[in-house]
């Protein structure tokens, strides 16, 4: 999965702390997506961003979760006041453009495994 | 509400034989379908995709078939190799608005030498 870089690979937090997950898309990609995978489940869409814009956040929990993709730097998924249920693998994907003829597949990073104590 | 379903959690085949992985979907708005392979502790790796205007797409050992009327697609791997052992995810999206992918729960393929 060279190209989409996520860090940290593993993150341990205590309940009530904040978690920040970072994602640098592949070179030339301006679209970033975040997904969450619970054990024995498929990946669930959370949010879709372009530079400085949130395009679709229909999969984001209403509270404690936020995402950004600034003009400079990586995309950040931020979880405030973490709870045990936030323990999961969080994957970031990027693509060069959306839709139209010649769909472009999303390419994924290796994920951040978040554990809440 | 599982819009993309992979009903078989696992499949075991002999090396050299064909592996057939199935996927069903319920949302008729989906018009782009993808298969990803995933190894433990890694992210999903894109394998092959198909647009709803086609019924077959082939790339080397991998072929994806789409039956729109049945809302069914399948991935054929032939010949199967031990390195193909992984979890395979079917995913779908539509072009209107967001390009979010909807994933199935995955299927673990084991190819025995």
* B4 in contact with A, Cβ within 8 Å: yes
DSSP code of residue A46: E
Distance CA B35, CA B100 (A): 14
Token representation of residue A87: 């323990």
| Residue of chain A whose Cα is closest to the Cα of B5 | A42
Shortest distance, CA A99 to any CA of chain B (angstroms): 5
| Residue of chain B whose Cα is closest to the Cα of A59 | B100
Distance CA A88, CA A96 (A): 27
Residue B45 vs residues B36, B48, B73: alpha-carbon distances, Å: 5, 10, 19
CB-CB under 8 Å, B95 with A98: yes
Q: Which residues of A touch B4 (CB under 8 A)?
A: 42
Q: What pLDDT, in 10s, does the model give residues A22-67?
A: 999 998 888 999 999 998 888 999 999 998 899 999 999 999 999 9
Burial annotation A53-64 (CB, 10 A radius, 16+ → b, else e): eebbbebbeeee
Q: What is the mean pLDDT of chain B?
A: 93
CB-CB under 8 Å, A33 with B103: no
Residue A95: its pLDDT value, please? 87
* A41 in contact with B, Cβ within 8 Å: yes
Dihedral of the alpha carbons of B66, B7, B1, B100, in degrees to the nearest 10: -50
Percentage of chain A modeled with pLDDT above 90: 75
* A12 in contact with B, Cβ within 8 Å: no
Neighbour order of strands in the sheet with A65-68: A5-7, A19-24, A75-79, A65-68
Distance CA A63, CA A23 (A): 21
Residue B96: its pLDDT value, please? 43
Write the residue in A31, A45, A109 that is nearest to B101 by C-beta: A45
Q: Which residues of B touch A45 (CB under 8 A)?
A: 100-102
Percentage of chain B modeled with pLDDT above 90: 84
CB-CB under 8 Å, B49 with A105: yes
Write the residue in A35, A58, A107 that is nearest to B46 by C-beta: A107
More confident residue, A75 or A106: A75
């Amino acid at each position: 999965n060279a190209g989409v870089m996520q860090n940290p690979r593993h993150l341990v937090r205590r309940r009530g702390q904040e978690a920040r997950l970072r994602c640098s898309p592949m070179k030339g990609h301006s679209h970033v997506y975040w997904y969450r995978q619970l054990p024995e489940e498929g990946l669930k869409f959370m949010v879709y961003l372009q530079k400085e814009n949130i395009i679709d956040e229909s999969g984001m929990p209403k509270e404690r979760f936020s995402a950004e993709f600034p003009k400079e730097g990586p995309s950040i998924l931020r979880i405030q006041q973490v709870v045990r249920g936030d323990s999961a693998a969080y994957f970031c994907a990027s693509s060069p453009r959306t839709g139209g003829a010649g769909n472009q597949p999303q390419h994924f990073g290796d994920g951040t495994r978040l554990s809440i104590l | 509400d599982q819009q993309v379903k992979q009903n078989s959690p696992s499949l075991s085949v002999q090396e050299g034989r064909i592996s057939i992985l199935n996927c069903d979907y319920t949302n008729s708005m989906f018009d782009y379908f993808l298969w990803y392979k995933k190894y433990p502790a890694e992210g999903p790796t894109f394998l092959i995709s198909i647009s709803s205007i086609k019924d077959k797409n082939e790339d080397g050992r991998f072929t994806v078939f789409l039956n729109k009327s049945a809302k069914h697609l399948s991935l054929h791997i032939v010949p199967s190799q031990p390195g193909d052992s992984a979890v395979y995810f079917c995913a779908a999206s539509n072009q209107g608005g967001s390009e979010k992918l909807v994933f199935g729960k995955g299927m673990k393929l084991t190819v025995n030498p």
